[in-house]
């Protein structure tokens, strides 16, 4: 059923539905209906319909505590309050400047019917692009201790859905290739999980505003019935808390098609506004780095003949950055602690002491003269106590030399974050446990005090906290480009076109696009990038991040300087973004308008299948002609046999044109549209 047909169906249905039940709430366009009820045993549950389609069947709700009585039964609805909102708010940086927050809210308060007199509420917000709901537990003495041992929120899904997912609570955190499968193959999955129902309706299950709580996995308990499985702390408690508290929002994005998910602002809308005040010091931009050289074994993080982070090399990188208009140079391996098995030696990293061949003041003075900042790097190897002990000094140092952005790293297997308690005892935690969620918030606050932004690698999943803390400028949190280096099986061909519809729904990713030497270990090596060169360019538009790296060694850009021009030109901060076409795991086309400018950029990528895609240019301004610089795969291009066959051409185009994109296997297209000045 198309959107209009659904709307009329729901409008008709809504009248009787609203009259019959006090516990439904509809989206402003009337398409999505969230229904809440309790059964004979006082167990709360909900369901969700999209038009006439039940997309979430009856699903139980509740919290269980270590000592207090649970909130999953013996409750009755005491009050229902409703509210509607239609406002806009502005992002200091982002994929769009203005975000509309239009939703209908229902606050349902439950009262316990046995045991002490207690209340709690479920707040539901229904937008045209989906739903968020959360538990709110007030400060009532009757609760006593409320350490949470289970949250039993269910998502009862249609059994014939197709899912795109990565395993939950596994050794490599979020860094797995995505799997496309029926629900039956899922045991435990990280969110966001993307689903296509048999009808073609698409859902994404995730969470928003994960603050002082544990991240959850989707845990399939019975066929099609998934439950929030909160990541435990090392002491077994899922969340140590006190009343009053609220949980993160449990989110369900709903769309008639795949691209609708990409155009949703649900996660951001459910986060709290900017808590930092003036954030003009948070600077989107592009950077290069002493980074890929280590990943392709040309340099080392540790000291010695091949040490990458030298003063001299950093200055040469600053020269390159200045020449081509990059804002920063990331330098990894500048600080002591990398020698030996750095993966397992998190306790010995210093965050203030440089190796003797790296002079932090010399490079930052040099960069200042050229308008290029050093980008700081703190690899913790997951030892958060060692990091926390030095954090203030480390950020003070960076602030004193003008560093505005720090990439942090938490390389440690899942469950391997190291925390030493006040008695000197070591505990091992998960990256998305409450302990580590708190750590990340602590880092952001310390950094913000010094006007520093954070780009977290091996992070907790993104739940939209960039709205509240705009200095959380980007993060990794998926298999990035680094897997196409010399140490791992490369990302499969459908990886990028799946990331766009899964990981990217949660927020910006520091994917690090722009590898130009695609066969860096020689043409016969399995270690390579499985894409065409044009696909690498298109990623700057397809994968949103306010900071984007030109990830390759600077010297590799000289070989294709005409293609490199796109990386030089493409902005990282946008007025507006629109996903135009695509299917999960197959292809995606994005258009984005430069923030504060009139240029539009388009990026399209495909998987292993070559495709011709027709794209209407209706996003362009009416009556305006544009010079389009098109970077496209050549006729013989193929990710494996001929990744460098490409064409850069100019065309004059306008809003009325239909553009045919020809993408090679593993290919892509990148376009810059610049308005042509009108004759007087």
Interface residues with ligand NOJ (CB under 6 A) are 291, 332, 379, 409, 411, 457, 476, 482
Q: Of 285 and 409, which has the nearer Cβ to ligand NOJ? A: 409
Burial class (CB in 10 A: 0-12, 13-18, 19+), 15: exposed
Round the CA-based radius of gyration of the chain to a whole number and report it: 25
Cβ 511 to ligand NOJ shortest distance, Å: 10
CB of 412 to Ca ion, least distance (A): 11
Tracing tokens 């060169």 back to the chain, one arrives at 533
Partner whose binding site includes residue 409, from ligand NOJ, Ca ion, none (CB under 5 to 8 Å by kind) = ligand NOJ
Cα separation, 182 vs 195, whole angstroms: 9
Question: Among residues 283 and 510, whose Cβ is nearest to ligand NOJ?
Answer: 510
Q: How far is the CB of 390 from ligand NOJ (least distance, A)?
A: 16
63 token code pair: 């919290």
Q: Which is nearer to ligand NOJ, 30 or 514 (CB)?
A: 514
Q: Which does 575 bind (CB under 5 to 8 A by kind): ligand NOJ, Ca ion, none?
A: none
332 binds, among ligand NOJ, Ca ion, none (CB under 5 to 8 A by kind): ligand NOJ
Q: How far is the CB of 409 from ligand NOJ (least distance, A)?
A: 4
Query: Cis ω on the peptide bond leading into residue 625 (within 30° of 0)?
Result: no
Find out whether the peptide bond into 556 is cis, omega within 30 degrees of 0. Answer: no
Report the 10 Å Cβ neighbour count for 8.
12
Cα three-residue angle 662-668-669, rounded to 5 degrees: 75
Cα–Cα distance, 182 to 161 (Å, whole number): 6
How does strand 44-50 pair with strand 668-675? Answer: unpaired
Instruction: Report the residue number, 132 or 337, with the smaller CB distance to ligand NOJ.
Output: 337
111 HSE (CA, 13 A, CB side): 6
Shortest Å distance, C-beta 409 to Ca ion? 7
Shortest separation between residue 333's beta carbon and ligand NOJ, angstroms: 8
Q: Is the Cα dihedral 493, 498, 503, 505 positive or negative?
A: positive
Q: Which residue, 479 or 672, has its beta carbon nearer to ligand NOJ?
A: 479
Cβ-based nearer residue to Ca ion, 96 or 457: 457
Structure tokens at 510: 């520091």
- Going by C-alpha positions, the residue among 137, 152, 126, 110 that lies closest to residue 35 is 126
d(CA 592, CA 576): 6
Whole-number Å distance between alpha carbons of 219 and 222: 9
Q: Is the dihedral of CA 76, 247, 92, 264 positive or negative?
A: negative
Report in angstroms how near the CB of residue 671 gets to ligand NOJ at its nearest.
Answer: 29
Residues 501-540 within binding reach of Ca ion (CB under 5 A): none
Measured from the CB atom, is 145 or 487 closer to Ca ion? Answer: 487
CB closer to ligand NOJ, 77 vs 411: 411
Whole-angstrom distance, CA of residue 122 vs CA of residue 548: 39
CA distance 228 to 191: 10
Q: How far apart are CA 218 and CA 203, in angstroms?
A: 14
How far apart are the C-alpha atoms of 251 and 267, rounded to whole Å?
8
DSSP string over 234-282: TTS-SB---SSEEPPEEEEEEESSHHHHHT--HHHHTSPPPSSS--TT-
CA-CA distances (angstroms) from residue 566 to 96, 429, 630? 21, 42, 9
By CB under 5 A, the count of residues binding Ca ion is 1
CB of 94 to Ca ion, least distance (A): 24
Q: How far is the CB of 136 from ligand NOJ (least distance, A)?
A: 36
Q: Is the CB of 129 or the CB of 332 nearer to ligand NOJ? A: 332
Q: Which stretch binds Ca ion (CB under 5 A): 199-207, 360-368, 453-461, 510-518?
A: 453-461
Give me the residue label for tokens 């796109």. 566
CA distance 424 to 418: 12
Token pair for residue 73? 């039964």
Tokens read off for 151: 């949250």
* Least Cβ distance, residue 349 to Ca ion (angstroms): 17
Distances (CA, A) of 488 to 88, 176, 300, 480: 44, 11, 17, 11
Q: Which is nearer to ligand NOJ, 285 or 337 (CB)?
A: 337
The smaller minimum CB distance to ligand NOJ, of residues 373 and 457, is found at 457
Residue at token pair 């030095």: 390
Please report the beta strands in 426-562, taking only residues with DSSP state E, as ranges in sequence order. Answer: 426-429, 453-456, 472-475, 547-549
CB of 509: closest distance to Ca ion in angstroms?
Answer: 11
Q: Which residue out of 95, 119, 332, 482 is catalytically annotated?
A: 482
Which of Ca ion, ligand NOJ, none is residue 379 near (CB under 5 to 8 Å by kind)? ligand NOJ
Which residue from 522, 532, 540, 451 is spatially nearest to 486, judged by alpha carbons? 522
What span, in angstroms and rounded, lies between the C-alpha atoms of 289 and 549? Answer: 8
482 is catalytic: yes
φ and ψ at residue 504, rounded to 5 degrees: -70, -15
Catalytic residues: 482
Q: Interface residues with Ca ion (CB under 5 A)?
A: 457
């Amino acid at each position: 059923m198309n959107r209009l047909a659904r709307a009329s169906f729901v409008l008709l249905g809504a009248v009787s539905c609203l009259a019959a039940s006090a516990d439904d709430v509809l989206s402003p366009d009337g398409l999505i209906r969230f229904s809440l009820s309790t059964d004979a045993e006082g167990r709360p549950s909900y369901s969700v319909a999209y038009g006439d389609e039940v997309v979430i069947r009856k699903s139980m709700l509740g919290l269980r505590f270590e000592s207090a009585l649970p909130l999953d039964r013996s409750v009755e609805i005491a009050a229902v309050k409703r509210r509607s909102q239609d406002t806009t708010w502005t992002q200091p940086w982002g994929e769009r400047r203005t975000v509309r927050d239009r939703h209908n809210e229902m606050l349902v308060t439950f009262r316990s019917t046995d045991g002490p007199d207690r209340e709690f509420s479920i707040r539901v917000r229904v937008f045209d692009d989906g739903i968020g709901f959360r538990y709110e537990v007030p400060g009532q003495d009757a609760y006593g201790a409320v350490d949470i041992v289970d949250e039993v929120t269910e998502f009862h899904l249609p059994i014939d859905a197709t899912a795109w997912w990565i395993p939950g609570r596994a050794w490599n955190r979020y860094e797995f290739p995505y799997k496309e499968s029926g629900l039956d193959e899922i045991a435990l999955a990280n969110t966001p999980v993307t689903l296509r129902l048999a009808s073609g309706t698409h859902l994404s299950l995730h969470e928003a505003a994960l603050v002082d709580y544990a991240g959850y996995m989707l845990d399939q308990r019975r066929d099609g019935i998934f439950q929030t499985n909160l990541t435990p702390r090392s002491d077994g408690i899922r969340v140590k808390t006190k009343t009053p508290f609220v949980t993160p929002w449990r989110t369900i994005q709903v769309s008639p098609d795949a691209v609708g998910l990409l155009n949703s602002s649900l996660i951001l809308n459910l986060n709290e506004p900017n808590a930092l005040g003036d954030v003009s010091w948070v600077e989107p931009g592009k950077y290069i780095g002493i980074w890929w050289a280590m990943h392709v074994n040309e340099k080392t993080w540790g000291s010695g003949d091949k040490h990458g982070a030298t003063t001299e090399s950093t200055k040469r990188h600053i020269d390159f950055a200045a020449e081509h208009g990059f804002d920063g140079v990331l330098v990894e391996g500048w600080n002591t602690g990398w020698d030996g098995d750095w993966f397992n030696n998190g306790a010995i990293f210093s965050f203030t002491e440089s190796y003797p061949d790296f002079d932090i003041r010399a490079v930052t003075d040099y960069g200042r003269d050229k308008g290029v900042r050093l980008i700081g790097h703190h690899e913790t190897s997951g030892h958060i106590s060692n990091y926390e002990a030095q954090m203030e000094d480390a950020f003070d140092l960076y602030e004193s030399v003008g560093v505005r952005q720090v990439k942090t790293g938490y390389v440690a297997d899942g469950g391997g974050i190291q925390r030493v308690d006040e008695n000197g005892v070591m505990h091992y935690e998960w990256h998305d446990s409450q302990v580590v969620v708190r750590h990340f918030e602590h880092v952001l606050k310390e950094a913000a005090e010094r006007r520093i932004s954070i780009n977290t690698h091996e992070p907790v999943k993104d739940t939209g906290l960039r709205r509240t803390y705009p200095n959380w400028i980007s993060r990794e949190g998926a298999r990035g480009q680094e897997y196409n280096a010399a140490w791992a099986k490369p990302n499969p061909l459908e990886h990028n076109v799946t990331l766009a519809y899964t990981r990217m729904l949660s927020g910006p990713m520091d994917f690090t696009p722009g590898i130009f030497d695609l066969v860096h270990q020689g043409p016969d090596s399995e270690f390579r990038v499985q894409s065409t060169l044009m696909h690498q360019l298109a990623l700057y538009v397809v994968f949103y991040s306010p900071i984007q790296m030109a990830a390759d060694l600077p010297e590799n850009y000289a070989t294709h300087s005409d293609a490199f021009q796109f990386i030089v030109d493409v902005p990282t901060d946008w007025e507006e973004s629109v996903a135009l076409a695509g299917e999960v795991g197959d292809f995606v086309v994005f258009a984005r308008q430069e923030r504060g400018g009139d240029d539009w950029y388009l990026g399209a990528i495909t998987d292993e299948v070559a495709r011709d895609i027709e794209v209407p240019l209706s996003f362009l301004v009416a009556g305006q002609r544009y010079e389009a610089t098109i970077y496209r795969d050549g006729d013989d291009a193929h990710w494996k046999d001929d990744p460098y066959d490409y064409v850069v051409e100019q065309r004059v185009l306008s809003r009325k044109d239909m553009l045919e994109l020809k993408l090679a296997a593993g290919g892509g297209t990148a376009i810059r549209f610049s308005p042509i000045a009108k004759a007087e």
